[in-house]
Structure 1
Amino acid sequence: MDEAEFWLMAQKNDEMKEKEEHEAVVVVKKSWSVPPRGWMKGNIGVDWNKAQAKSGAAWVVRDERGKVRFHSRRAFFNIRSLEEAKFQALIWSLESFHFHHLNRIIIAIDDSTLSNVVLRPRAWPNFKYQHAEIMKRLEKIEWWRILREDRSTNRGSFIIAQSVLKGGYKQSYVAMGAPFWLRELFENEERLSSVGVET
């Protein structure tokens, strides 16, 4: 082999290496994150069925270690849109958080509109009613933050909300800890979230 052939072979080798590296890009999966010390985090999940005009809602409250303290589920009827389902779920969740004396809570919902309506009401003038109703409930909670959290990091509450429609559960309830049928999911998220938590 002469020098030119070695050079061509080296170029092909570099191209193949570059292609392999490009294809091996790791997709980082988002995971649930714990609230700061002294805070709770309330994840809100919503599922809606257009044909039945019905929605299921759930909230899950976890502490700074990721441990589930409470969870709740509820059915809503005559719900005409996903936006209305999310609004009703948020109102119900805020009332529940107040009732359970959760006065330092991060509210996480898979909806950017509602969190923006709260944080930037002037930019959302068509949502004055929703803003007023949400703020009426938030004023009863001493310390709060609201944020949009992707469904992939909000899985537990979404699955509980789905159980209303898929399982036909119309009975509302509040319970301590995680639901037994999702205990493994929540324990795994708790373990994963504790890796980056300061003690």
Structure 2
Amino acid sequence: MTGEPPEPGDGLEPEAPEELRAPEAEHDDAGLDLARDITRATEASGGPAPRRRRRRTPRAGDGRVPRGRISGAHPDERDPQLLETTMDRLVADHGWDLDLRVHAVFGRWGELVGAQVGAHSHPETFADGRLVVRTDSTAWATQLRLLAPQVVKTLNEELGHGTVTFLEVLGPHGPSWKKGRLSVRDGRGPRDTYG
């Protein structure tokens, strides 16, 4: 022994233990030979060519990206979006912009018309340029009718020119003399009591 590593075939190679040796089974080429024979027969007979998978064209909403549309350095609609951007797009798509601005005015009513007027009145509805405001007394209804041109001007500055065209001021709801489920048709009502 000269200290050199053993050469292959010297008989000095260590043998693997029995349990780690690969079983010496003969390889059966029958499956591979059968596949080759079928391929040759198909080609020789002019049979059908191997099928190729056809590419599906993507449709809107199926989650596949059309070829050529690759997200690059600039954001597009497939990238994660901020909630504000998504909500702005939703509002614009559904045409809710004016409704949201009107309801924002409803929420800031006291700030826009003044603290005193705002404490005694509240907006009820807005449709087709007509704003309906209810007051808690007839005196405040009269006061708000006198201030109507100024209130309409202020509201149009907030909402956009021509949004509010008419301000309808209603007084308080009248008292109901009806008590219970039953009533008399064509009765004289509360006048009988005082009369």
TM range (shorter): under 0.3
Larger radius of gyration: 2
Structure 1 length as normaliser, TM-score?
Answer: 0.22
Structure 2 length as normaliser, TM-score?
Answer: 0.22
- The structure with higher relative contact order (CA 8 Å, sep 6+) is 1
